[in-house]
Structure 1
Amino acid sequence: MEQRSRYKVAAVQAAPSFLDLEAGIERAIGMIAEAAGAGATLIAFPEAWLPGYPWWIWLDSPAWGMRFVQRHFENALEIGSPQFERIRSAAAKHDIYVVLGFCERSGGTLYIAQAIIDDHGTVIATRRKLKPTHAERTVYGEGDGSDIAVHETGIGRIGALCCAEHIQPLTKYAMYSQHEQVHVAAWPSFSVYRGMAFQLSAEANNAASQVYALEGQCYVLAPCALVSPEMIKMLVEPGKEALLLPGGGYAMIYGPDGAPLCEPLPETHEGLLYADIDLGTISVAKAAYDPVGHYSRPDVLRLLFNREPHARVETFEPIRPSETL
C-alpha cells in the first residue's frame, strides 16, 4: 500500500450534543468538513462523543441514574445504521480519515467504541474498550483481544484506545508490538471530581497520553470533550455542583518523542487543534527507545496476548447417526 508520510492532523475539543444523536451527527459532519477545509488528512473525536459520555454514573447511585438509561440507549449509534453511514459519507466527501468515538449499541448492550474510517468512507476497523473503567461497568459491556489492534492504512499504521486504557501497561505493550505510528487517545473530559481525585485530572491523564507517545515512539492525538453548561443543568442537582464542573477540555497532540505539537485551547473553549506530522521522524525516536525491538529482553519478559474475537454463540451442524457409520 502506498503511504503518505507527511500530513496535517486534527484533534477535536468540543462538548457533545448530549443524548441527541441526530444533532451530534450534524456537528460531527461539520467538524469533519472544517478539518478537511483546513487541510487536515485525519480528524480524531473524543471518547463516546456520540451521543456523549454518561456523566451521571459518577454523580449518584445507579437507581438515580436510571432516568437517563433509555434516552442514552436510544441515542447510541449502531454500526451500519443510516446515521453511521452519514459519517462514512462525510469522510469520503471531504477526503479525510476519521477516528470516531461513540457509544455503540449492539442488541441490548452498549459499548464504548471507536471507528477508523478512511478517506474513501471505508470502515477500516471498529473496536470496543477492552475493560470499562470503574463506574462505566454499570453501563457498558467489554471488548476482547481483537479490539487491541493497529491497522495498516494509506497514512500509516493507526491504532486507538479510550481513556484509562492508557494506564494499562499490558494493553499498551500489545499495541506497541504492532508498530503503531499514529495513535488516537480519546478522552471524555477532565471535569469530574476536580480536586478530589488527582488520578482523574487533566494533569495525570494528559501525562498518560504523553507517555504513550514516548513509550511507543508514535504520534498521539488526544481529543477531549468538554462539559457544557447545558449538560451541567441536565445532570447536576443542588448540592452536587463540586462533583462535575463545566469545561474540562484539555485536548493535545504529541510527537513520537513526547513533545507537545500544538498550543492548547482554554478548557471551556471548543475547536480543533492541528499539527503537522512526519512519520519519518519516528525512526529518530526509535533510535533511542524501542521497547518491542532493540530495547526489549524477550528472554526475560514476554507478553501473552490472545487477540482472537470472543464469540458468545458458536453454531455447528449436528452429526447424524448415519454419518458416523
Structure 2
Amino acid sequence: MPDYRKTFRAAAVQAEPVWNDLDGGIGKLEALAREARAGGADIVAFPEVWIPGYPWFLWLDSVAWQSQFVVPYAANSIEIGSPEWERLESIARSVGIALAFGFSERAGGSLYMGQAFIDAEGRTLGTRRKLKPTHVERTQFGDGDGSDVVVIDTPVGRVGSLNCWEHLQPLTKYAMFSQDEQLHVGAWPSFSIFPGVVNALGPEVNIGASRQYAVEGQTFVLAPCAVVGQAAHDLFADTELKKQFLALGGGYARIFGPDGSSLAEPLAPTEEGILYADIDFAAILAAKNAADPVGHYSRPDVFTLHHRDTGRLPKVSASGRDIPPAATAEVDDLVGAE
C-alpha cells in the first residue's frame, strides 16, 4: 500500500558516461552518488545505459564500421551478481544513498538495456529490461518481457523505471500507472542525434514525454539524461559528417511533479551536474483528486488492459521439452480507460 506521507530529496544526473569502460563508469557513478548525498539526496538517478554509455555507433554508419565497437561494448557491459555488481551495491551502502541507474546487461552472450534499483543498504531490490529496444537498438539488444513492466516497493516509496521511448508506449505507461507508482525514473541517453533533422529524437518532444508521464500518471518523474562530450566525438565521430549527426551536448535532465510542474532548474545542455528536488508524496493526492486515469477517472466498462507478466526465457528440461515460465496468467486487475 503506498504511503503518501513520505518526504525526501531526490537527484537526477546530467553527465557524460565513461564510454566503453565498466570500471570507469562505476567510478564516475560513485563520485556523482557521493556528490548527490552531500547535496542531501536520498536517491540519485542515472541515464539510460549509463554503464558503459549509450551505443551511439549504431546510428552513425554501416554494420561493417560498427563492428569495431561491438566486442568492447559487450565486454564492458555488466552481469547482475558479478563482482562489479557487488561493487555497486557496496557503493550504495557506503554512501548511504539509493541508486537508480541504467546499464547494458550481459546475460550469457546477449545484451539487454537494463535498469536497476539498489537501496541505501546495498540491496538490489529490482532490475528490469527495456521491453522493446528502439529502431537500430534492436541490432544490439534483446527484448524484455512482461515481468519488466513493474513498480517495486522501496524505502523511498513505490518506484518504477522506463527507458527513453518506452514513454511513448501508451499500454506500457498505463500498466505502470496501475501499480500505484509514486516515483518514476525516466532514463534518457542524450538528445544529440540528427539535430534539427529528426524532431522526434529532439529535446522538445522527449522532455514533453517526461512531463506528460508525470501529469498523466500523477507521479513524480526523475528524468536523468546523458551528455555527449568530446570523449564521445573522439570515439564515435571519425568524420565531420558524423560530428554533425551526433552533436555535442544534448543534456536535458529534468524533474517533474505529479501536476507536470518543473521542480528543478535545468542545466545547460553541455553542462554536467546534478538536479535536486524535494519530494512530498502528498502532492500526488492533490493531483489525483482532479484526474486519476486508473481510478475515478477511468471507464473499466469500456476499456480493459490485460498485462501478461510472463518471466524470463523458458528453461529447457533434460528431455528437451520446454518448461513454461512460472507466470503465464494474464493479470486482469489492470483495468480502466486507456
Report the TM-score, using the length of structure 2 for normalisation.
0.92
Contact 2:93 2:121 in 1 (8 A): yes
Contact 1:148 1:171 in 2 (8 A): yes
**For residue 52 of structure 2, what is the aligned residue in structure 1?**
51
How far 1:317 moved relative to its partner?
A: 7.5
Q: Deviations over 1:229-252 (max 9, x none)?
A: 111121112232211011100000
**For residue 281 of structure 2, what is the aligned residue in structure 1?**
279
**For residue 199 of structure 1, what is the aligned residue in structure 2?**
200
**For residue 113 of structure 1, what is the aligned residue in structure 2?**
114
**CA separation in 1, counterparts of 2:291 and 2:135?**
32
Question: For 1:56-75, what aligned pairs fall within 5 Å after superposition?
Answer: 56-75=57-76
**For residue 260 of structure 2, what is the aligned residue in structure 1?**
258
Contact 2:14 2:252 in 1 (8 A): yes
**For residue 322 of structure 1, what is the aligned residue in structure 2?**
none
Q: Deviations over 1:28-49 (max 9, x none)?
A: 0111111111110110000001
Question: For 1:23-172, what aligned pairs fall within 5 Å after superposition?
Answer: 23-172=24-173
**For residue 6 of structure 2, what is the aligned residue in structure 1?**
5
Describe the SS at the equivalent of 1:240. Answer: helix
Q: 1:309 and 2:298 equivalent? A: no
Aligned-residue RMSD, C-alpha: 1.6
Moved more, 246-255 or 2-11: 2-11
Question: For 1:15-30, what aligned pairs fall within 5 Å after superposition?
Answer: 15-30=16-31
Moved more, 252-261 or 240-249: 240-249
Q: Deviations over 1:8-35 (max 9, x none)?
A: 0000000000001111111101111111
Report the TM-score, using the length of structure 1 for normalisation.
0.95
Letter in 1 for 2:261: A
2:291 to 279, 286, 289: 289
Number of residue pairs the alignment of both structures matches: 319
Describe the SS at the equivalent of 1:80. Answer: coil
Contact 1:2 1:154 in 2 (8 A): no
Unpaired stretches in structure 2, ≥5 consecutive residues: 321-338
How far 1:62 moved relative to its partner?
A: 1.6
**CA separation in 1, counterparts of 2:23 and 2:112?**
19
Describe the SS at the equivalent of 1:215. Answer: helix
**CA separation in 2, counterparts of 1:120 and 1:262?**
27
How far 1:76 moved relative to its partner?
A: 0.4
Unpaired stretches in structure 1, ≥5 consecutive residues: 319-325
Question: For 1:214-293, what aligned pairs fall within 5 Å after superposition?
Answer: 214-238=215-239, 239-293=241-295
Contact 2:2 2:180 in 1 (8 A): no
